[in-house]
Every structure is written in structure tokens, then in C-alpha cells.
């Protein structure tokens, strides 16, 4: 039976936040308000040391879709509003939820109020009873009176709240959650159903997230976890489970470490060297020049700063050991900054490219 999970390679993560933004747009989540975050994809950050020897780390976080999910155990309604699907997703049913927040209290990664309880994130958020959700879009105040639109005007003109609403239909969950229920990451169930990855996975310009079936030994995620030491969060205050300790059996795994010198110095630099894109800024054609330590198939894609892949330039193009030059064409891309991402089977290097006219 399928058991979905996610592996996040911290050595690849650049902390850009593209996954967080992508999740917000894909799942119509609200802005943070009154200690409730509504960030189904969020971040745990640490800063240690003293200037100039400061060490900053970013850990992308989300619901861990725990196998032994205490949020499910705690949910008092029958049938449960918070429940496990056959493929391992911790799912939430908006209709059955009575808003008691027992799940929030039971989840080691959630708090009712992240401000008063001094935590950085909460996997589950609550929509208070009697308070309209997406209340920002009921605001009739313009930033510049008589010049810019108010949130309400924007939503009215767009015919939706939020104005960029992504519609998905499901018997379990609504595309915009009502008042009086909890909400959290569904592993983008609506995308899985049509054969797509979770959006945070597809939007990561660094390719740091891998999603798949943990029960399939041949899946990319299983192979990745078999070949690399990994760890899982124990709670939302930055502690990891000790090796051999299962905790709630979270199914989101972390490989390596953010800004890992080993990864940068050995894996990236050995595989791909001296990525150089010229001319930059570019109007039409540019050359991507790089050195490889050994002959390897190379894939090259261009991502926008939201993390969306906007052009697949090459897929598994055989490249020689030593210097390689690949031509890219940016015609059709609007003016702006993009990320040019070069991958081999085991290495990845990215560089910015500015498109001008």
C-alpha cells in the first residue's frame, strides 16, 4: 500500500521561500493573523554565533503526515474530522470538524498561538468561529486613497476571495476554509489525484524536495533515504528525534544540513564547476558554461523567482568531462530575474540570469 512521504535535502535548500509562497497561492491560505500562521509550508530558522562568524540555517517545515498521528487520535468526532487516508496522508474534513482544536494541542508541531507561545510555526491553524476567513479582502481601505484599489475592490473585480483563488473540488476539504475549523497541509491531495507533485516540490528551484511512496523501494524518495543519513523533527522548537526513536513517526525527512560545507565543497563543486552565464543581462541568446569532473547527462531549466519552472532547456543531455557550453534562448520570457538550474544525477548548481529587452 502506498505511504506518501517527503525528503528535503537541506544541502540543496537555498532558503528562498519559493515553496512557502507556492503553497500559499496553490492552497489559498490566509495571511498570518493574531498568532495563527496559516502557512501550510513554513520555515524553522536558526541564527547562531557572533558577527562575523554567524551561522544561519533554514529548515522548510510542514505537516509531517505522521504514521502515528496524535492529531488523529485526539480528534473527538465520529467519523473523525482529522484522519489518515489509505495512502498515508493526514487529511482533514471541513464538514465534520467542530473546531475544538484538540488536534492542535495534541500535535507536537502545533500551537494555538505562535506569538504568545513563542514558537516559530504551527502545522495546524484554526479559523475562529464568527470571524470571516480571508478577512483582509473585506478591507475597503486603499493604500493611496483614490489611486490604488482596496483589498475588497480587488476581490470584487476578480470575482473571488482571495482574488487569485485556486479552485479545487473535494468531498473532504474546501478551497477556502470556513470559520470554525482547523486547516493544514494535505500533501496537495488535489494535485496528487491528477498525477502531479505537491506544488512545494515542483516550485523549489533548487530541487531540494522529493515526494513519493515510502513503501516502494524503487521510488526516488526511498532510494534517497536509503543512500543518505536522514533525520526527522521531534517538535516545532527545532529538536530532532534521536536515531532509533520514532516519536509520532513523521514522514517528512531531512537530509544533510543547511549550508552544509560537505555538500557544497564535495558534491556540488566536484560534479559541476565554474557555472558562468553570459551575456547577463541577456536579450535573446546566452551561453551557459560549466566544467564537469566526469562525463554526465545534464538537465537545464529556467525558474522564475516564484520557483515555477518556466522553461525546460535540456533534459539529460550528454555532456563531456571538462568544459561544456550550452546555448539558451530567453525569447518569450518577460523582463526580470530568473534562476538557471543545472543538474546532473548527483549535483546541482544554480545561477541568476536577468532578462532584459
In the complex, which residues of this chain contact ligand SF4 (CB under 6 A)?
Answer: 22-23, 26-27, 40-41, 62-66, 69-71, 74-75, 77, 81-82, 90, 92, 97-103, 107, 109-110, 123-124, 182, 184-188, 198-200, 248
Q: Give the three-state DSSP class for 99.
A: coil
* CA terminus-to-terminus distance, the chain: 52
Least spacing, CB of residue 263 vs ligand SF4, in Å: 23
Q: Which is nearer to ligand SF4, 99 or 178 (CB)?
A: 99
Report whether 198 contacts 191 (CB < 8 A).
yes
Query: Which of the 8 DSSP states describes residue 79?
Result: S
3-state secondary structure of 23: helix
Asked if 50 and 56 touch (Cβ cutoff 8 Å), the reply is no
Contact indicator for 154, 20 with CB cutoff of 8 Å: no
Least separation in angstroms between CB 206 and ligand SF4: 15
What is the spatial distance between Cα 122 and Cα 112, in angstroms, rounded to a whole number? 8
Nearer to ligand SF4, 91 or 272 (CB): 91
Eight-class DSSP state of 280: S
Closer Cβ to ligand SF4, 81 or 330, answer by number: 81
User: Closest approach of Cβ 58 to ligand SF4, in Å?
Assistant: 15
212 close to 220: Cβ distance less than 8 angstroms: yes
Q: How far is the CB of 265 from ligand SF4 (least distance, A)?
A: 30
Q: Choose between 124 and 214: whose C-beta lies nearer to ligand SF4.
A: 124
**Cβ of residue 299: shortest distance to ligand SF4, in angstroms?**
22
Amino acid at each position: 500500500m502506498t505511504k506518501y512521504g517527503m525528503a528535503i535535502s537541506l544541502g540543496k535548500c537555498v532558503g528562498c521561500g519559493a515553496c512557502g509562497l507556492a503553497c500559499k497561492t496553490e492552497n489559498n491560505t490566509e495571511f498570518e493573523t493574531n498568532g495563527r500562521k496559516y502557512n501550510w509550508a513554513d520555515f524553522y530558522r536558526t541564527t547562531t554565533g557572533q558577527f562575523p562568524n554567524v551561522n544561519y540555517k533554514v529548515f522548510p517545515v510542514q505537516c509531517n503526515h505522521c504514521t502515528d498521528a496524535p492529531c488523529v487520535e485526539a480528534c473527538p468526532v465520529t467519523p473523525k474530522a482529522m484522519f489518515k487516508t489509505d495512502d498515508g496522508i493526514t487529511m482533514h474534513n471541513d464538514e465534520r470538524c467542530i473546531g475544538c482544536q484538540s488536534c492542535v494541542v495534541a500535535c507536537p508541531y502545533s500551537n494555538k498561538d505562535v506569538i504568545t507561545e513563542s514558537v516559530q510555526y504551527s502545522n495546524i491553524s484554526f479559523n475562529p468561529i464568527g470571524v470571516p476567513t480571508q478577512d483582509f479582502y473585506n478591507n475597503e481601505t486603499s493604500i493611496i486613497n483614490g489611486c490604488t484599489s482596496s483589498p475588497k475592490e480587488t476581490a470584487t473585480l476578480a470575482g473571488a476571495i482571495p482574488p487569485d483563488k485556486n479552485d479545487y473540488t473535494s468531498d473532504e476539504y474546501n478551497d477556502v476554509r470556513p470559520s470554525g475549523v482547523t486547516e493544514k497541509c494535505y500533501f496537495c491531495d488535489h494535485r496528487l489525484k491528477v498525477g502531479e507533485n505537491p506544488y512545494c516540490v515542483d516550485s523549489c528551484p533548487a530541487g531540494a524536495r522529493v515526494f513519493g511512496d515510502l513503501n516502494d523501494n524503487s521510488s526516488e524518495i526511498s532510494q534517497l533515504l536509503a543512500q543518505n543519513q536522514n533525520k526527522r523533527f521531534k517538535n516545532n522548537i527545532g529538536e530532532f528525534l534521536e536515531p532509533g526513536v520514532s516519536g509520532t513517526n513523521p514522514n517528512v525527512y531531512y537530509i544533510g544540513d543547511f549550508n552544509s560545507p560537505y555538500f557544497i565543497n564535495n558534491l556540488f563543486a566536484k560534479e559541476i564547476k565554474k557555472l558562468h552565464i553570459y551575456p547577463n543581462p541577456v536579450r535573446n541568446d546566452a551561453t551557459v558554461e560549466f566544467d564537469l569532473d566526469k562525463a554526465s547527462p545534464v538537465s537545464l531549466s529556467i525558474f522564475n523567482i516564484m520557483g515555477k519552472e518556466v522553461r525546460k532547456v535540456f533534459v539529460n543531455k550528454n555532456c563531456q568531462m571538462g568544459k561544456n557550453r550550452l546555448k539558451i534562448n530567453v525569447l518569450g520570457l518577460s523582463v526580470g530575474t530568473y534562476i538557471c538550474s543545472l543538474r546532473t544525477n548527483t549535483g546541482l548548481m544554480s545561477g541568476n540570469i536577468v532578462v532584459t529587452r
